[in-house]
Amino acid sequence: MPQPKAGHARAEKDKELPFEALLTKLESVVGELEEGEAPLEEALQAFERGVALARLANLRLDEAERRIEVLLDDGSGQTRALETDDDEGADDE
């Protein structure tokens, strides 16, 4: 059964990838599935890979969100909203 070992090794390598690389790989998998040319077993393997990549990308987003919340913590345990240039003009309208 070499397939699970290969899949496991790939999953371990994927854990090290930055968010953008995960998205690129996920887009590739989605494109492959959208073509609809792969046999069922290959399509299922591609789908499983896509789900794994999506989960990893989601974890990266969650990590980034937590880091942002720490940076925006006002010291009282409350997270303040980050003001943007768009927020300043909202009251003028």
Distance CA 87, CA 68 (A): 18
DSSP annotation of 18: -
**Which has more confidence, 67 or 3?**
67
In this structure, of 11-15, 65-69, 82-86, the range with the lowest mean pLDDT score is 82-86
Predicted model pTM:
0.70
Greatest alpha-carbon span in the chain: 66
Mean pLDDT within 33-49 = 96
Residue 38 pLDDT > 80: yes
Mean pLDDT within 69-93 = 67
- Domain positions in the chain are 2-65
Distance CA 84, CA 31 (A): 36
Can you give the pLDDT at residue 69? Answer: 86
**Which has more confidence, 6 or 24?**
24
Q: Could you say which of 3.30.360, 1.10.287, 1.10.1060, 1.20.1260 is the CATH number of the domain covering 2-65?
A: 1.10.287
Q: What is the mean pLDDT of the chain?
A: 84
Can you give the pLDDT at residue 9? Answer: 81
Residue 89 pLDDT > 60: no
